[in-house]
Amino acid sequence: MIPAAFEYYRPTDMAGVIALLQEHGDDARVIAGGHSLIPMMKLRMADVPHLIDLQGIEGLSGITVTDGVVRIGAMTTQHEVIVSDALAAAAPIMKEAALQIADPQVRYMGTVGGNVANGDPGNDMPGLMQCLNAQFHLTGPDGDRAVDARDFYEAAYMTEREDEEVLTAITFAAPTGGYAYEKQKRKIGDYATAAAAVQISKEGGKVAAASIAMTNLSDTPVWSEAAADALVGTACDEAAVKAAVTAMLGDIDPTEDNRGPVAFKRHAAGIVLGRAILRAWSRA
Amino acid sequence: MSNKMHVKLNVNGQDHEFLAEPRELLIYALREKLNITGPHVGCETSHCGACTVTMNGKSVKSCTVFVAQANGAEVTTIEGLGTPDALHVLQESFKEHHGLQCGFCTPGMITRAAKLLEENPNPTEEEVRFGIAGNICRCTGYQNIVKSILSAASELNAAKEAAQ
Ligand SMILES: Cc1cc2nc3c(=O)[nH]c(=O)nc-3n(C[C@H](O)[C@H](O)[C@H](O)COP(=O)(O)OP(=O)(O)OC[C@H]3O[C@@H](n4cnc5c(N)ncnc54)[C@H](O)[C@@H]3O)c2cc1C
Ligand code: FES
Ligand code: FES
């Protein structure tokens, strides 16, 4: 399990990163925590002749909450997400989800930026970011731009990010109401068989607004507007939850793999979403 | 392309300098270059935790870190926690409570547990189990490992109280 040889760089500013990305094009990649990239390089599924480490760049990590807007630097680790009091207060769904990712050692290294930029349908953060309607902030040779998480994922490992762009941060408006991240996995440290991110707000005993996204049930995360619409205006009763699950099942497209056949995944998707809705509602 | 780079590591308080290919995994640099063989290679695929060390204050699987990334880091391995003559409280506790059988997972398990207790000196049984979820043991069934860690925690806390 030895990866192919590479040149290693640890630039100390973003201009240096972008210059290297421009110089080496397809042959270069950035490394954050390395806990998706290194396993791929060991398996020689990723060939990276020029590896650019982001650890020397100042200002890429940290969590701030200002005027109701949450900003998480790309190099912020999953561990830092879990221990942040500010984040627990502003967007508790982040901690609930991060605790279900991998295991302690992986969470000390794995970053939020790496998790969302990777493009693996198994990653938990992309669906969560779609649920929260987050923006991804990219910087590249042509300057900075922001892309909605809901527009970012094209196919497995294919995203809106250009090869020469680096993700610097994610931002989102602090959500209101109840939340839940529910994940079915075979064991701790496993990717989801199915997972659901749900935010629900309540007014006068009825669902005022909802947002629902599903993980590892298609080649991209699935933000299901139809599922959320099925809840809005209802008292989140059994019929409404059933309607939301049915709507969600119309949006996902799981494939068979070692986590089970399609019918099982659809079953698991329905169960996790049902549980997530009820938990989010109970907290709304 | 086998360009070697200069690597500096502080391991268990001692500075080391050596040449290595950037792609060398930290676990192999420790074991084969520095002869620090406490951390083990169980799976080499980031799953078992036998290779766990503390790097810059984080528990990491040293099979999933390139030595180039570790350049300049401070690393603690099981060798840095205690010595045969002066065992670490956790080592003593694992011995006392039969927290190991074959011992293969033990260096990683104890190194992880040390960090866990540093961050959470008073864990519940559930927190201990969740905190060592990245370390696999094929022998013990975990029961005695959990017992060992909980007992070490109360001993450390008692010692802290006595010192106050
Ligand atoms: C045993 C194990 C279990 C795991 N279980 C889970 C799980 O249950 N759920 C889950 O979501 N993940 C899981 N992971 C993956 C883990 O969360 C990764 O750490 C994460 O997916 C990637 O973050 P990273 O910082 O390690 O990124 P890296 O591995 O460094 O990078 C991943 C990819 O993103 C790119 N990239 C990284 N940062 C940036 C940036 N700032 N800008 C542009 N591109 C960037 C890299 O070039 C690379 O292509 C698991 C990993 C392991 C080893
Ligand atoms: S050898 Fe590193 S996790 Fe198993
Ligand atoms: S004691 Fe044998 S693997 Fe844990």
pLDDT in tens, B56-86: 999 999 999 999 999 999 999 999 999 999 9
Give one word for A27, left, alpha or beta, with left for phi > 0 and alpha for psi -120 to 50.
alpha
Query: How far apart are the CA of B27 and the centre of ligand 1, in A?
Result: 20
State the pLDDT at residue A2: 87
Rounded distance from Cα B101 to ligand 3 centre (Å): 5
Instruction: Determine the Cα angle at A110 with ends A109 and A112, to 5°.
Output: 135
Domain with CATH 3.10.20.30 in chain B: 5-80
Give A257-264's long-range contacts (Cβ < 8 A, gap of 24+).
A259/A186, A259/A191, A259/A193, A259/A216, A260/A193, A264/A193
| Rounded Cα–Cα distance for residues A114 and A110 (Å) | 7
First and final C-alpha spacing in chain B: 58
**Is 0.95 surpassed by the pTM of this model?**
yes
A57: helix, strand or coil: coil
**Contact assessment for residue A54 and residue A31, using Cβ atoms and an 8 Å cutoff:** yes
Please report, for chain A, the start and end positions of each structural domain, with discontinuous segments joined by +.
7-53, 63-173, 178-283
pLDDT of residue B2: 61
What letter represents residue B86's amino acid?
A: A
User: Superfamily assignment of A178-283 in CATH?
Assistant: CO dehydrogenase flavoprotein, C-terminal domain (3.30.390.50)
Among 3.40.50.2300, 3.30.43.10, 3.40.50.300, 3.90.1640.10, name the CATH number for the domain at A7-53.
3.30.43.10
Alpha carbon of A265 to those of A34, A185, A253, A259: distances in Å? 29, 11, 10, 8
Residues of A in CB contact (< 8 Å) with B are 1-8, 10, 31, 34-35, 38-39, 41-42, 49, 51, 53, 55, 79, 102-106, 108-109, 188-189
Is B44 in contact with A1 (Cβ distance < 8 A)?
A: yes
Beta strands A135-140 and A143-148, pairing class: antiparallel
Query: Which element (helix H / strand E) includes A277?
Result: helix A262-283
Intrachain domains A63-173 and A178-283 with the same fold? no
Ranges of CATH 1.10.150.120 domains, chain B = 89-163
Tell me, what's the ipTM? 0.96
CB–CB contact A5 B1 (8 Å): yes
| For the CA of B44, the nearest atom of ligand 2 | 1
What residues pair up with B27 in beta bridges, in sequence order?
A: none
H/E segment holding residue A123? none
Answer yes or no: CATH 3.30.465.10 is held by domain A63-173.
yes
In this prediction, residue A91 carries a pLDDT of 98
Shortest Cα distance from A108 to chain B (angstroms)? 6
Which residues sit with their C-beta closer than 6 Å to ligand 1?
A 29-37, 39, 54, 74, 101-102, 106, 109-111, 113-115, 117-118, 123-125, 166-167, 189, 191; B 46-47
The whole-angstrom separation of Cα A139 and Cα A89 is 29
A-chain residues near B110 (CB < 8 A): none
Contact A40, B59 (CB under 8 A): no
Cα end-to-end distance, chain A, whole Å: 48
Pick the CATH number of B89-163 from 3.40.30.10, 1.10.150.120, 3.40.50.300, 3.40.50.720: 1.10.150.120
State phi, psi for B42 to the nearest 5 degrees: -95, -55
Strand order in the sheet with A7-9: A7-9, A50-53, A28-31
Contact A41, A8 (CB under 8 A): no
Structure tokens at A216: 């590892």
Question: Residues lining ligand 2, judged by CB closer than 6 Å?
Answer: B 41-44, 46-51, 61, 63
Distance from CA of A97 to the nearest CA of B (A): 15
Contact call for A104 and B134, based on CB within 8 A: yes
Q: Which ligand is nearest to the CA of B60?
A: 2
User: What is the CB < 6 Å shell around ligand 3?
Assistant: B 100-106, 137-140
Q: What is the pLDDT of residue B164?
A: 86
* Coil/strand/helix, residue A253: coil
Q: Where are the beta strands (DSSP E) in B90-130?
A: none
Best of B63, B66, B135 to mutate for ligand 2, by most ligand atoms within 8 A of CB? Answer: B63
Label residue A23 exposed, middle or buried (CB < 10 Å: 0-12, 13-18, 19+): exposed
Name the residue type at position B37: T
pLDDT in tens, chain A (284 residues): 889 999 999 999 999 999 999 999 999 999 999 999 999 999 999 999 999 999 999 999 999 999 999 999 999 999 999 999 999 999 999 999 999 999 999 999 999 999 999 999 999 999 999 999 999 999 999 999 999 999 999 999 999 999 999 999 999 999 999 999 999 999 998 999 999 999 999 999 999 999 999 999 999 999 999 999 999 999 999 999 999 999 999 999 999 999 999 999 999 999 999 999 999 999 99
How near does any CA of chain B get to the CA of A106, in Å? 7
Q: What's the CATH number of domain B5-80, 3.10.20.30, 3.40.50.2300, 3.50.50.60, 3.40.50.720?
A: 3.10.20.30
State whether B59 and A104 contact (CB < 8 Å): yes
Size of interface A-B (CB pairs under 8 A): 85
Q: Which residues are B48's β-sheet partners?
A: none
Q: How far is B102 from chain A (nearest CA, A)?
A: 23
Low-confidence ranges of chain B (pLDDT < 70): 1-2
Q: Determine the residue among B48, B54, B63, B66 to mutate to test chain A binding: the one whose Cβ has the most chain A Cβ atoms within 10 Å.
A: B66
Q: What is the pLDDT of residue A1?
A: 81
Token pair for residue A252? 């996902």
- Please give the Cα distance from A49 to A70 (Å, whole number): 36
